[in-house]
Amino acid sequence: MASAQNPAADTGASGATVAQALDEPRPREGPLARAFRRIVESLPDDWTDLELDLRIADESRYVEAAVFMVTCNAQPYSHHDWHWRVRVANNFGHAASAPTVHGTLALLDEAGIEGELVVRQTRSGRVEVTQMWGRPQSVRDEFRRRRAQ
């Protein structure tokens, strides 16, 4: 979705861009949420996908942490050193949005569940493919303008 004033700005349901949503002041941002915010801030502007692995320090709290992690569709590992794979999408794709993942990690921080994040893969410069048959030329032009690399 884009705002009427600035159609180039991709926005979420609240009307804020991903960068604005993550830049809002947080009085007590915990270590996991802070680490995620720093990772997102370090990415280029055209990043599309991000894959992270999350490991919690106290495995006895795994089930409690899993309740929070379901909100960002984290994929659990079976017999692995890391507990979850978290996929994040910037503007499109089949992954959780950056503000959703940030909020999930903030919930873990608030619950006192300590852990660590590691970046496994990032992708940038990809453009979504959309079927344009039957759409007016103005829609095609606007799509190309917004997704121009």
* Per-domain residue ranges of the chain: 18-146
Tell me if 71 sits within 8 A of 97, measured CB to CB. no
Distance of CA 55 to the CA centre of its chain: 18
Q: Is residue 31 classed as helix, strand or coil in its secondary structure? A: helix
Do β-strands 96-97 and 84-89 pair in parallel, antiparallel, or remain unpaired? parallel
Distance, CA of 106 to CA of 10 (rounded, Å): 24
> Residue 4 has what pLDDT?
41
Mean pLDDT: which of 10-19, 24-33, 81-90, 124-133 is highest? Answer: 81-90
Q: What does the DSSP 8-state code read for residue 72?
A: G
Residues 87-105: pLDDT tens digits?
999 877 788 999 999 999 9
Higher pLDDT, 93 or 107: 107
**Side chain identity at residue 148, one-letter code:** A
Whether the model clears a pTM of 0.85, i.e. scores above it, the answer is no
Tell me how crowded residue 140 is: count the other CB atoms within 10 A of its CB.
12
E strands in the chain: 47-56, 75-76, 84-89, 96-97, 115-124
> Which two three-digit tokens encode residue 144?
């190309």
Residues 136-145: pLDDT tens digits?
999 888 877 7
* C-alpha radius of gyration, the chain, whole number: 17
